[in-house]
Amino acid sequence: MEARADALDVSPKEPTMEARLNVAVVGLGWWGKVIIETLKESGKLRVVKTVDLNPEAGEWARSRDLAFTTDFGSAVDDPALDAVILCTPHSAHRQQVVRAAAAKKHVFCEKPLALSYADAQTCVRACRSNGVILGLGHELRFTPPMAELRRMARSGELGRLVQSEATFTGIVSHTAGNWRISAAEAPGGPPMTGKGIHALDLCVSMHGPAERVFASLRGSSSQATHGDTLGLLLTFKSGANALITALWSSPFANRFTVFGTRGWAEIRDKAHPEKAEGWTLTTCMRDEQVKTVEYPAMSPVLANLEAFADAATGRATYPISPAEMLADIAALEAIGKSAASEQVVQVQPVDECS
């Protein structure tokens, strides 16, 4: 019997407007506002509520016809809400993730997930035990050239991966007292939690858990008084190394390179992901010439959020695994200790069953 054509169509169906995930954005600082503006283009998520401890933030929210509250608990207990997006200080993440998960709300948390491995474990366990999805703001995983680089690495095209190098820079200006430049909120310095964490996550995605780290934090700007220039050397359990530069003392550059025994590949961003302008992917295989491919602009921020929505609604698996989330924070905690002590620090082994 001949099958009907529509019976052969197994591609994921786009959700209807009614099927969109209803979300609350928590934290209406710079990035929270970017998230809200980005989600205006989404057919998979809908912002229905906003939360901020500062009552004055409500004026901005209400000017966009968004419900506003200063009470995080009342927001996550709202039965009309499916998920929360946390754009809050790093030290608040553990408590907020646990509270939202207990209310059976899916959680998308901006990076870093936590400031300690123990807190990251608590977040992962809370979401797992309550049957909700945990997503993270590592949008650089969602660019088209990164998908191609990941394919090359996993297929063996690059050979055995031996080293990654990443440079993430940008002159950042925050007002005095901003939490992002607080030593308590930024182990390893603000360049690490602001920029270097993205580079670290890309390295983890290539090499797996880190084994030991050495961090050197230098410089002192008027904002980042405990350091604006960070150099990292990481050794991974796989045997690979990584060199990461994270700076607040030089203009914008995002570069990520993976070296293998058969070839290397490098991604360069043309602009910050907030307003992406496209990328280049340059490759060089053994006995071949260097090749460069241009990729047009898209929104990796939106792509990440919609991957989270797909996972929360059962349409797909979220592509950042809990084990990778834990590996990121285990390494971050060691980086903070190394920057403070100027010593090599062993990384907490990751319990993938957390």
Q: Please indicate, yes or no, whether residues 166 and 273 belong to a single structural domain of this protein.
A: yes
CA distance 284 to 293: 12
Q: Is residue 229 part of a domain?
A: yes
Peptide bond into 112 cis (omega under 30): yes
Provide the CATH number for the domain around residue 98: 3.40.50.720
Structural domains counted in the chain: 2
Give the mean pLDDT of 180-197.
Answer: 89
List, for residues 27-84, the tens digit of each pLDDT value.
999 999 999 999 999 999 999 999 999 999 999 999 999 999 999 999 999 999 999 9
Last residue of a domain, one of 138, 163, 186: 138
Last residue of a domain, one of 90, 119, 138: 138
Give the mean pLDDT of 253-261.
Answer: 97
Q: Is residue 1 part of a domain?
A: no
Q: Please indicate, yes or no, whether residues 145 and 281 belong to a single structural domain of this protein.
A: yes
Q: Is pLDDT larger for residue 242 or for residue 220?
A: 242
Q: Is residue 76 part of a domain?
A: yes
Burial class of residue 21 in the structure, from the number of CB atoms within 10 Å of its CB (0-12 exposed, 13-18 middle, 19+ buried): buried
List, for residues 100-133, the tens digit of each pLDDT value.
999 999 999 999 999 999 999 999 999 999 999 9
Q: Is residue 3 part of a domain?
A: no
Q: Please indicate, yes or no, whether residues 159 and 98 belong to a single structural domain of this protein.
A: no
Q: Please indicate, yes or no, whether residues 192 and 338 belong to a single structural domain of this protein.
A: yes
List, for residues 282-339, the tens digit of each pLDDT value.
999 999 999 999 999 999 999 999 999 999 999 999 999 999 999 999 999 999 999 9
Last residue of a domain, one of 108, 138, 168: 138
Q: Please indicate, yes or no, whether residues 164 and 305 belong to a single structural domain of this protein.
A: yes
Q: Please indicate, yes or no, whether residues 239 and 112 belong to a single structural domain of this protein.
A: no
CA distance 174 to 172: 7
Provide the CATH number for the domain around residue 268: 3.30.360.10
Q: Please indicate, yes or no, whether residues 189 and 305 belong to a single structural domain of this protein.
A: yes
List, for residues 198-235, the tens digit of each pLDDT value.
999 999 999 999 999 999 999 866 576 778 899 999 99
The percent of residues above 90 in pLDDT, for the chain, comes to: 83
pLDDT for 199 equals 97
Q: Please indicate, yes or no, whether residues 159 and 131 belong to a single structural domain of this protein.
A: no
Model confidence, pTM: 0.92
Note down the domain range covering 47. 11-138
Q: Is residue 353 part of a domain?
A: no
pLDDT for 187 equals 87
pLDDT for 5 equals 31
Q: Cβ atoms within 10 A of the Cβ of 300, count?
A: 21
- The tokens of 297 are what? 């602009």
Q: Please indicate, yes or no, whether residues 263 and 187 belong to a single structural domain of this protein.
A: yes
pLDDT for 207 equals 98
Give the mean pLDDT of 242-246.
Answer: 97
Alpha carbon of 218 to those of 183, 188, 242: distances in Å?
Answer: 14, 10, 19
